[in-house]
Structure 1
């Protein structure tokens, strides 16, 4: 129960800040939300997007799932939580950018690289992370000489690109990108370094946009 008490105390501080000292922000948010950014992040407890970006309530429309993955566009099946959120953000909220944010030490990508069996019908994780199989196959083909740790990191980066590519399979996303009304951005948070990297499609590599506090190392 200590955790719950901690969370309740945190809510009281939130309440004091936004409903006590200065109510202007939530006076507008009470009526509607109008975020300009959809951020697709990982469910990992260490990578809360609002905390990492130090933003205000209403700034981000957030989707979080295991390994920050975007499935390809398809209309079969019954449940499309991530796809529904993307559709709402793009078509209703008309966001201006979609950020896919991965991170180091990702358990979902680790499970993918470890070869967890996605054929088991009760293995929800294995089935879900198989979305990033193209990233895994690329890493195994090109970096078979690397250590398992280096391969996992490479897959974490490559999986972000897979999700960016999958976003473009949604017709309403591709249409707005082509019209210059929507930008797709890939971020990678290095937990060990405390650094942020962004995918540069011109050079097909991730580059530091916020370097580590004591050194600047570019992700490869």
Structure 2
């Protein structure tokens, strides 16, 4: 906690002063250009890897950067409502789904029921990526753990892009070219980001 408190003071005395005018403008409203859907993993820092300032990214973060398919519900839908707000109220121009290497959520897809017994809500959440697991297991053996890992992480990004298009308001804007949708894969160990090419159906290094 002491480290966090020192960070607050350093921010106020240094970083805030550098961007004081920006924060003054942001105090009244926000106009982000991009909805960034990423994993909750502490190693993924959206503003850092995109070099964006406060006010540019509207962020949704959850385990394994999952987008639940659209559905009407009286439940409390955190991710769904955030997507709805970003697109229909803030009118973002871009949506990015960003996965990453060494994703614990993707790895948990292959864990036993016993291993997940202590985290029942996480286990339920990961059911939304069940199709990803099926697809990967049809293409790679369980013995090739490394290949299975990165294939799962990348296939999961592609699956969530499909889920986005179950939202009628996203599908409409996307068809009208008023909204761009992209899938990214971030390599923690190299700092590289690979972007999904819908035509080749492959992830290509951003350069």
The TM-score, its normalising length taken from structure 1, stands at 0.87
Does 2:125 align with 1:125? no
Does 2:149 align with 1:152? yes
**Contact in 1 for aligned 2:142/2:148 (Cα 8 Å):** no
Hey, what does 1:75 align to over in structure 2? 72
Cα-Cα RMSD = 2.1
Q: CA deviation at 1:173?
A: 0.5
Ranges in structure 1 where 5+ consecutive residues have no aligned partner: 211-220
Q: CA deviation at 1:50?
A: 1.7
Hey, what does 1:214 align to over in structure 2? none
Which of 183, 194, 197 aligns to 1:200? It is 197
Counterpart-to-counterpart distance in 2, 1:174 and 1:118: 38
Give the 5 Å matches for 1:79-98.
Answer: 79-98=76-95
Hey, what does 2:188 align to over in structure 1? 191
Which deviates the most, 127-136 or 13-22? 13-22
3-state SS of paired residue (1:187):
strand
**Contact in 2 for aligned 1:119/1:127 (Cα 8 Å):** no
CA deviation map 1:153-189 (0-9, x unaligned) = 1011000011100000001110110111101110001
Which of 131, 135, 156 aligns to 2:132? It is 135
Ranges in structure 2 where 5+ consecutive residues have no aligned partner: none
Hey, what does 2:56 align to over in structure 1? 59
Which of 170, 175, 178 aligns to 1:173? It is 170
Q: CA deviation at 1:195?
A: 1.1
Q: CA deviation at 1:193?
A: 2.5
Counterpart-to-counterpart distance in 1, 2:60 and 2:18: 30
3-state SS of paired residue (2:185):
strand
**Contact in 1 for aligned 2:193/2:205 (Cα 8 Å):** yes
Change (3 A) 1:120 1:78: farther
Change (3 A) 1:146 1:192: farther
Count residues in correspondence.
207
Change (3 A) 1:77 1:156: farther
Runs of 4 or more off by more than 3 Å in structure 1? 115-122
Q: CA deviation at 1:23?
A: 1.8
Does 2:20 align with 1:37? no
Counterpart-to-counterpart distance in 1, 2:19 and 2:187: 34
Q: CA deviation at 1:114?
A: 2.6
Q: CA deviation at 1:44?
A: 0.7
